[in-house]
Every structure is written in structure tokens, then in C-alpha cells.
Structure 1
């Protein structure tokens, strides 16, 4: 619960937060996501899943831009043969 409070304090202070749940108990991670999701909504921010077990919380003054992700996916697909 302390982590959830720290995350919401960062959002309140207009700082983005990246949360990695890779080594977190799934039940605990779900509780944190629920709490942070409510706080993020109340602060007009945004909570996005950006990877497996990774979430990004951003305050209202920051937007998430997906354009770089899409171009990286294209590049990875174009050059997939180089990884073999």
C-alpha cells in the first residue's frame, strides 16, 4: 500500500511514474493497479499498460505518444531476418 501512496504523490506533483510488476505477486499488483487507476482518474491523468507487467502513469500535463512505438515495430519486422 505504501508504494501505491508514493505513486499517487508523484502523480499529484505532476511527475510521470513507470511501474514494473515483474517481481510482484499478481494479487498485490492487481490491488496496486486498482488503487493507482482510481487516483490517476481523480487527478485527470492516464494509466497505460506499456509492456508485460509494466504500466505508465502520467499526470494531466503529459501525454503518451505512440508514434515511436509504431515505427519501431515496423523496423523490427523489416529487419527480423537479421536477428536469426
Structure 2
């Protein structure tokens, strides 16, 4: 009697089909690129600054195309105003945007980041009014 050898294949010996490299390119939307599956990890800086001296580091993050969320709830009103003004000016100079998230919490985004917010925008009042977002 003749013996036939039967070859069994499993996932280790079965050849896999050749996978071609995907050519995904970012889409342009109004001059800004959308995040695609093949992009590097997205970094977001969240900080509760203790003083004005932290502002240059925050601007460095904006220059490096990283959005910054700042929480100014636990800082003195005058210093919070200075930090906000400094970051607002830097964001404007970098063609970015500022969005209020909640009282004393803001997103400063460089031009490569779109902020899609469904938050009612209330004016920012630095007058010392008790209803000011700084209080």
C-alpha cells in the first residue's frame, strides 16, 4: 500500500498574500490638513499655570504646532489676564485660534488645528465685574 504524505498548513506555514503599502495623503480643508490614520500621534498640552513666567514655554508648544489648553481657575485675576493676553497675541501672530471651553479654561490652537466646539461663546470681561469669567 502506497503512503501519501499529506501536508497540513497552519497560520505559521501558510504564505500570506503580499500587502501593498497604503498611499494615504492628508486631505486639505480650507488650507488646513485633516488628521489621517497614518499620521504621527497628536500631542495636546494641558496646563494649569502657576505664574506668567510659564508663558514662553506655552508659546513654544504653539510654535511646535501643539494645541494648548490652559486652566486659569486657581490663579490671581490680574495674572490670569496677563497670561491670556500674552497667549492670545502669540496665537494671533501664529494664525491660530482661541476658544473658551468653560469659565477660565481656554484652548489656544495653532493654525494646523481646527476647533469644533458646541459651546456658547460668552464675551471675556476683564473689568472686575462679579460675573467675570475670571471669578
Task: Say whether the fold is shared (TM-score over 0.5).
Answer: yes
Tell me by how many angstroms 1:16 deviates: 0.6
Which of residues 67, 76, 91 in structure 2 aligns to 1:16? Answer: 67
Q: Which has the higher helix share?
A: 1
Encode CA deviations 1:38-73: one digit per residue, 9 max, x unaligned. 00000001111110110000010000012xx47xxx
Q: Secondary structure at the match of 1:64?
A: coil
CA distance in 1, matches of 2:77, 2:101: 17
Moved over 2 A (4+): none
Task: Give the length in aligned residue pairs.
Answer: 68
TM-score after normalising by structure 2 = 0.48
TM-score after normalising by structure 1 = 0.76
Cα RMSD (Å):
1.2
Which of residues 96, 111, 135 in structure 2 aligns to 1:60? Answer: 111
Bigger relative contact order, structure 1 or 2 (CA pairs below 8 A, ≥6 apart) = 1
- Unaligned ranges ≥5, structure 2: 1-51, 120-135
In the other structure, the counterpart of 1:28 is: 79
